[in-house]
Amino acid sequence: MILIFLGPPGSGKGTQAKRLSERIRVPHISLGDILREEVRLETELGRRAKEHMNAGRLVPDEMTIELTRKRIRQEDCRSGFIIDGFPRSAAQADAFDRMLEEDKLKLNRVIYFNISEEAVVDRLSGRRSCRNCGAVYHVKFNSPKVPGKCDLCGGELFQRPDDKEEVIRKRFEVYEKQTRPLIEHYAKKGKLVEMDAAKPIEEVFHKLLNVLAFATAP
């Protein structure tokens, strides 16, 4: 089972991918997480990527294509995988098609998580992360017991640079311009399924399971 999750930042595709990954026992590959880890480790690629990410721009194709090729050829991906955050451009989609063809793999479905810009801003601008353990909170939907402090370790909570409203709107604009054409691309291939990502998490996940014809029982 090979799935692509498409949707703008804040659409919840990463959350749904993690849940589905646990349910069907295939890896969840998040290019965003991989890139952030490269930034954290201050690798050469991470330093280059950080400039783009903090400005709300997409990381260049050659960087994400190479990371993806390397990741999907690891042993744990033999039985399939769920990938989100890639592809994000026509060039990336073409490269991914070639990767699958080279490895004699078949793309099963592309799930598109549709959500408005204002809903995305509301979700992401309120996000706060712990500097120490990385736990994530939200000032409106999941606030910590003590303002500014992590419930788990007491670490300081901060707003990531790419969660500031002006950067979020820029990211959404970039997404609409560069990624939107992929929706039409995969729809023409008969692979696309659209989800209303503004719905509650449980409702979206239940529909996702039904769409993919997996049993909802544990």
Consecutive H or E run containing 114: strand 109-114
- Please report which residue ranges of the chain form alpha helices under DSSP H: 13-24, 31-40, 44-54, 61-72, 90-102, 117-125, 165-178, 180-188, 201-211
Which position among 19, 88, 109, 128 bears the catalytic label? 88
Which position among 36, 123, 127, 128 bears the catalytic label? 127
What order do you get walking across the sheet with 127-130 strand by strand? 136-138, 127-130, 157-158
Which position among 19, 109, 128, 171 bears the catalytic label? 171
CA separation for the pair 199, 193 (Å, rounded)? 16
Nearest Cα residue to 24 out of 42, 1, 41: 1
Active site residue 13: yes
Residues paired with 80 in a beta bridge: none
Which position among 13, 19, 36, 123 bears the catalytic label? 13
Q: Is 168 helix (H, G, I), strand (E, B) or coil?
A: helix
Which position among 23, 48, 149, 160 bears the catalytic label? 160
Task: Calculate the alpha carbon distances from 56 to 52, 65, 93, 170 in Å.
Answer: 6, 19, 21, 6
Active site residue 78: no
Residues paired with 5 in a beta bridge: 84, 111
Active site residue 171: yes
Query: Active-site residue numbers?
Result: 13, 88, 127, 160, 171
